[in-house]
Amino acid sequence: MDKPKKEPVTLNQSPDSKLCLNCGFPNRNTDTQCMYCRTSMIEDSGLFNWFRQTYYILRWRWQLKQKRNSLDSQESKPPFYRSIGFFILGVVLSAVGIFVFTSAISQNSFSSGLIALLLVGYGIVTLKTLFSNK
């Protein structure tokens, strides 16, 4: 009972089927054993059974969320050359912004100073998104 054998088909049950609490396999309401893992499907009534079902449902949702997150993290990892490109772009934008800012200060140009701050900001945001996890 540590690891489920199969993922449940849906989280919302249809009225003519019920999920096995051991493996999550959808079974008919008339079945006395799970068709997949042969666990008894006879339900107890009462508060203990409600807690047990709630636990298994929440466990399934957590496992599905963990699996979805692991699949998202595997797919969203950019290739190495793209990471290098973003790093170079961030450094170049920041360097050009600093250069334009120093020349704007020496020429007392307000508009060039604003453009320089935008360039530095874009460079910093590019580097920050590159090094942040999500």
Spans of all domains in the chain: 17-73, 80-131
Q: What is the pTM of this model?
A: 0.43
SS3 37: coil
**CA nearest to 85, candidates 129, 35, 31:** 129
Task: Measure the CA–CA gap between 18 and 31, rounded to whole angstroms.
Answer: 9
Q: Token pair of 48, please?
A: 């203990």
Q: Which tokens is 23 given?
A: 């493996």
Convert the pLDDT of each residue in 30-82 to its tens digit: 888 888 888 777 766 677 777 877 887 788 788 888 888 887 776 666 678 88
Q: 49 is written with which tokens?
A: 């059974």
